[in-house]
A and B are shown apart, each in its own frame.
Chain A
Amino acid sequence: MIASVPTAGASVATDVVNGTDAVAAAVPHAPDTSGPDVADVIVELKNVNKVYDGVTVVRDLNLSVRAGEFLTLLGPSGCGKTTTLRMIAGFETATAGDILLQGVHVEDQEPFERDVNTVFQSYALFPHMTVAANVEYGLKMKKVPRAERATRVTEMLDLVQLGGFENRYPAQLSGGQKQRVAIARALINQPKVLLLDEPLGALDLKLRKQMQVELKRLQRKLNITFIYVTHDQEEALTMSDRIAIMHDGVLEQLGTPVQIYDRPASKFAATFIGETNLFEGYVADLTPDRAEIVIESGRIAVELPDDSVPGKPAFGPEDLVAVSIRPEKVRFSATPVPDFVLAGQVKDVIYAGSFASALVTIPNGSEVRIQRRAGEALPQPGETVHLYWELADAVPILGQSGVVFDTIIAATLATDEAAADALNATPGAVKRDAFDVAAATNDATDPDLQREQSEQREYVDRAPTDAGTHSTDLHRRQAG
């Protein structure tokens, strides 16, 4: 946009007579360059379904991938993300639905007819060919003349920083080098779209981080659309322009990393990406822009998104909802706060280098995590704090199945007397037959991230005493 402004200005200045025309010509051009357009869509999936032996692996998937973007299909194993990728590549046939590449139906095209290439999870390098022969393979198949092949192979190997490895065999390469060869081999035919199936899964953490940066750089440089499959939420946040979260074969949310982190559209999205505190309850009081929600441990409030937000949930009174609030957005106070009835005792404070968090046990026994950068104020263990947040920071999520909820209610009513007692004892708690369950979760669902954090975690153990004095005892624990 910045570049187009002087051009328009120049044509106005030099071409005074037709100045108005020049401006008029510039205006319709604007939407093409800024917003997404039909012409921008390079891969389109329409109502795609995939059924294996009666099991639906991908369900009614609609997805438009824009030219030049880095799109990540993110989800746990078995969520259908790899199947989706393989349908785009042509290794799997969709049971129903349309797959379009640059507006052309490709459902019946063989993989070698599609202008996409794949980087396989296991690299799938040909073990009987040298690095150069592996990279050259695609060009040979496309019958590119020998001389041109040689230069392009050299260029491509230089691009992935493997110059000089031409005559090695895959068995003589490290994991990271194999990965680079796989990428070079897939890129040599200059595909419109590069499909990557967990390409960094086999690499160790340090190398993986380095390759993430390199892949992203490569993608920007070549301006090729990348569709990237991973189960690693951190990887997805780091690299992607947009993330598509898949769960049980369904696309749960599609958006930029910021959108997905700040406004998760489902409980799954909220817990799968980053850490969050999740409260479940029912809408007690509703105004156009905010809702008060009764939960097992008290009462909380949340601002409702304005109508401009796409997919805005329509809440009604008594609707069952979940509220997601990120640990860094949770606030605390020594005194009660208006709109909120949510108090708890600080159980533990955990120091993790660049940040620290406090775990607060709320009346129903679950924990709420408050996270702060190191050095910022946190409550002390043993203290009773009142929890609250800026209403706009919390995200209300609609859409629990009533059936599931009833089942849980029945189960908890039958077994959990203690929880009911806690409910009665809590000030402000509402006794209600149809509602009994609320949970606050603050576990990161990604095991890799948890492991990583625990590896470098330092615990500050403070034994809580009733008089408010604390015996501090700092020691390291090595998880492992």
Chain B
Amino acid sequence: MPATTDTGSRTRTGRTRGTRSRHNFRGNMLPAALTVSPVAIWFGLLILVPMIYVIVISFCSLDSNYNIVFRFTLDNYKRLADLDYLQIYGNSLLIALTSTVICLLLAYPFAYLIARMRGRAKIALYMLVIVPFWTNSLIRIYGWRTMLGAQGLFNKLLMGAGIVDKPVEFLFTRGAVILGMVYALFPFMVLPLYTALEKLDGSLLEAAKDLGARSLKTLFTVTIPLTATGIFSGCIMVFIPTLGYFFVSDVLGGGNSSMIGNVIESQFRRGNNWPLGAALSVILILITLVLVKLYQRAGGDMESLGG
């Protein structure tokens, strides 16, 4: 309140009040700075500096020995316009989208179940989502690789049951990559959905029923619209990591660089072409930013509707 009055009066009555308020502000600077600085240093060192570094080298060139030289060029970005790279971006987005949709379809009923459960069953279901976090996801993905392999659990079961004669090639397919993504990111979809569903007022569902809506109608006219925020944030939290989880497509997709994360990784390591890798990263960051912006807009709208 006082801040608003000050800004308002400053434009009208001139310097005196403005100066005083600035003085007060400066007096409060020290504690504020002390409180904020650890976070600011953390943020600056670990996020801002590397980010600027990536952006800078994305405009640098390589000399004949594949060393980075600070000579401005747009070649790296030009190369990205190649059909190959566009295809990889397209493929990555497709896999991310498919994984997100499958995640949503699986997670929504599950989150609904947790939200409606009471007591022990609720805790048990909730832990089913949380416990996998306690193990490294890379290890868990290798677990899938073992199970999906030619001598893996699934093929043994299928052959034992006489459904197939020779092992099915689950591994190194797009399906396997999507499976891995869905598996690895499922909790990130469940948690925001659960939060949204838990907040949903049960009497609204009763009101819909009371007014003649059957279960499915209630779901589409009340439950889903009122949990749209959770759906959006869940989708964002699955979609964006999918683009970057290169190890999943590495382990389950056979490392044939089908996704953008793999390409970036290989440019930095095997390819030793940091500027190109950086350019690829910058584009990925831009895509992510656009998505987050879209989410904020959608989320913001939902909030003003729901409040």
Please determine whether A110 and B209 come into contact, CB atoms closer than 8 angstroms. Answer: yes
A189 interfacial by beta-carbon distance below 8 Å: yes
Given A112-B210, A112-B211, A189-B211 in contact, is the A124-B305 Cβ separation under 8 Å?
Answer: no
Given A120-B203, A126-B222, A128-B226 in contact, is the A111-B209 Cβ separation under 8 Å?
Answer: yes
A117 interfacial by beta-carbon distance below 8 Å: yes
Chain A residues with CB below 8 A from B209, complex form: 90-91, 110-112
B223-248: CB near A (< 8 Å → 1, else 0) gives 00110000000000000000000000
* Interface residues in B193-235 (C-beta closer than 8 Å to A): 201, 203-204, 206-214, 217, 221-222, 225-226
B204, B212, B221: the one contacting A124 at CB < 8 Å is B204
Give the nearest-CB partner of A116 in chain B. B210
A125, A137, A169, A189 — most chain B CB neighbours (10 Å): A137
A90, A127, A137, A171: the one contacting B208 at CB < 8 Å is A137
Q: Separation in Å of the B220 CB from the closest CB of chain A?
A: 12
Count, A-B residue pairs, CB within 8 A:
68
B14 interfacial by beta-carbon distance below 8 Å: no
Chain A residues with CB below 8 A from B27, complex form: none
Give the nearest-CB partner of A120 in chain B. B203
Please determine whether B211 and A120 come into contact, CB atoms closer than 8 angstroms. Answer: no
Which bracket fits the contact residues of B? 20 to 34
The number of chain A residues with a CB under 8 A from chain B is 25
Please determine whether A138 and B206 come into contact, CB atoms closer than 8 angstroms. Answer: no
Given A110-B209, A169-B305, A171-B307 in contact, is the A126-B214 Cβ separation under 8 Å?
Answer: no
Give the nearest-CB partner of A89 in chain B. B210
Chain A residues with CB below 8 A from B201, complex form: 122, 124
Given A137-B208, A169-B305, A171-B307 in contact, is the A124-B203 Cβ separation under 8 Å?
Answer: yes
Chain B residues with CB below 8 A from A169, complex form: 305
A240 interfacial by beta-carbon distance below 8 Å: no
B38 interfacial by beta-carbon distance below 8 Å: no
Give the nearest-CB partner of B222 in chain A. A126
Please determine whether B211 and A91 come into contact, CB atoms closer than 8 angstroms. Answer: no
A185 interfacial by beta-carbon distance below 8 Å: yes
User: CA of A186 to CA of B212 in the docked complex: distance in angstroms?
Assistant: 11
Chain B residues with CB below 8 A from A128, complex form: 225-226, 305-306
Given contacts A91-B209, A110-B214, A141-B212, 14 further A-B pairs with CB under 8 A are: A111-B210, A112-B210, A118-B207, A120-B203, A122-B201, A122-B203, A126-B204, A126-B207, A126-B208, A127-B306, A128-B225, A141-B217, A171-B307, A186-B210
A-B contact pairs, 10 of them (CB 8 A): A90-B209, A111-B209, A112-B212, A118-B207, A121-B203, A127-B307, A128-B226, A138-B211, A141-B211, A171-B307
Residues of chain A at the chain B interface (Cβ within 8 Å): 89-91, 110-112, 117-118, 120-122, 124-128, 137-138, 141-142, 169, 171, 185-186, 189
Residues of chain B at the chain A interface (Cβ within 8 Å): 201, 203-204, 206-214, 217, 221-222, 225-226, 305-307
